[in-house]
Each structure stands twice: as C-alpha cells, then as structure tokens.
C-alpha cells in the first residue's frame, strides 16, 4: 500500500483541497487558477479544461456571469464583508443546467476579485435537459424566475419588450403551460 505524502503542512493542505468532497475553485479576477476533483465531478470538465479559463465557462449565460459578478463585487465593496453566498444556476460541460449554492471568500478585501475561493454544492439532483432552450431563452427564463417584467428583461438584455414576449411565448410552448406563473414554476422545478 502506497502512503500519501503529508510530510509538510503545504502537502497536507494541497491534498485536503484536491480531495475535498466539496467542489472548490480558486480564482484570480474571475479566471480559474486551481480546481479540485469535486469540481471535475460536478461540472464534467477536467482540471486542464478549467485552469486559466474564465469562470464564465461554468455559467449558463453571459448575462448570469455578468449580473452575479456585479452583485457579488458591489455587496462586498459596500459592506466590507469578505464572504458572499447565493443560489444560482450553473452549467456543466454537457450543457446540463443545475441549481447550486455558491459560497465565495475573498483573500483581498480591498479588491475582492483579485483572489477568491469558491465552493459549489448542488442543491437538488434534478437537472434540466428535457426541453432544448436557446441561449437567449435561457437568459429570458433566468429573468422570469427572478420576477422581472418584459420591459425590465428587455432593458437588461438590450432587446425590445416585444421580443421578450416572443421568447416568453416560445418558452410557454416548450414547457406546455398557459400562463407565466405556471412557466416560472416549471422552470424552477426543471432546474
């Protein structure tokens, strides 16, 4: 039997990070500089697929990546808190979208994104693959779940509110529902 080298604190710490059952990444300005094995299992990427890549790769849309990043940085700067957590949609390498609890800690409070550690824990085993959504439909669905109106969604995505209504109608057909409340419920349950 081969013994695992834990002869130094640094080796033991590295082993603890890599083998942790919790998916963890270390990021510098939202680029992944390290990822553990649990991240590989959760997201379906190899470590090599993630290192030196933008964390945007793990988000279902650019809008999610931008909005969550802005919200996180603003809250940390306003409150001076070094920790941030939320629940959000994330996306695996096979395009499966799932709901996670994300927790981040900055190691540089004066510039929160210069060095952060993040953990991700899947909230439900239910993942969404039965309805094929376009990237824009995913963006609209995200905003609908968050209670935004067509006008608000249109402003956020730089499209007209009428275009948002077209996407909403397509989503309703794909989910086979008759109203927005039922649509939101189906989206939330699907993810």
pLDDT of residue 189: 62
Nearest to 127 by CA among 53, 190, 41: 190
* Phi, psi values for residue 24, rounded to 5°: -140, 145
Residues 126 and 102 sit within 8 Å (Cβ to Cβ)? no
Contacts of residue 56, Cβ cutoff 8 Å, sequence gap at least 6? 30, 62, 65
Rounded to whole angstroms, the Cα distance separating 24 from 14 reads 12
pLDDT of residue 96: 81
Q: Which helix (H) or strand (E) holds 56?
A: none
C-alpha separations of 95 from 5, 110, 186 in Å: 37, 35, 19
**Structure token digits, residue 128:** 């969404």
* pLDDT tens over the chain, length 191 residues: 567 777 888 888 888 889 999 999 999 999 999 999 999 999 999 999 999 999 999 998 888 899 899 999 999 999 999 999 988 888 899 888 778 899 999 999 999 999 999 999 998 644 444 577 888 888 898 888 878 899 999 999 999 999 999 999 999 998 888 888 888 877 766 65
Rounded to whole angstroms, the Cα distance separating 48 from 51 reads 6
Nearest to 121 by CA among 32, 53, 33, 20: 20
Q: Which helix (H) or strand (E) holds 3?
A: none
Terminal alpha carbon distance of the chain? 43
Rounded to whole angstroms, the Cα distance separating 121 from 88 reads 10
**Concatenated DSSP letters of 134-151:** -HHHHHHHHHHHTT--HH
* Structural domains for the chain: 9-122 (3.30.450.20), 135-190 (1.10.10.10)
Query: Rg (Cα) of the chain, in Å, rounded?
Result: 19
pLDDT of residue 29: 97
Residues 66 and 47 sit within 8 Å (Cβ to Cβ)? no
pLDDT of residue 151: 94
pLDDT of residue 129: 45
């Amino acid at each position: 039997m081969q013994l695992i080298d834990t002869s130094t604190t640094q080796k033991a710490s590295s082993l603890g990070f890599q083998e942790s059952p919790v998916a963890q990444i270390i990021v510098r300005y939202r680029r992944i500089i390290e990822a553990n094995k649990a991240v590989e299992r959760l997201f379906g990427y190899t470590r090599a697929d993630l290192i030196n890549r933008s964390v945007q790769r793990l988000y279902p849309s650019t809008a999610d990546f931008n909005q969550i990043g802005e919200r996180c940085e603003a809250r940390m700067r306003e409150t001076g808190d070094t920790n941030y957590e939320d629940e959000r949609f994330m996306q695996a390498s096979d395009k499966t979208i799932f709901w996670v609890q994300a927790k981040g800690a900055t190691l540089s409070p004066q510039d929160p994104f210069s060095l952060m550690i993040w953990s991700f824990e899947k909230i439900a085993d239910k993942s969404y693959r039965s309805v094929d959504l376009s990237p824009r439909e995913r963006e609209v669905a995200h905003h609908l779940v968050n209670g935004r109106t067509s006008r608000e969604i249109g402003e956020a995505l730089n499209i007209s509110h009428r275009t948002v209504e077209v996407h909403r109608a397509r989503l309703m057909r794909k989910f086979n529902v008759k109203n927005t409340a039922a649509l939101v419920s189906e989206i939330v349950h699907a993810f």
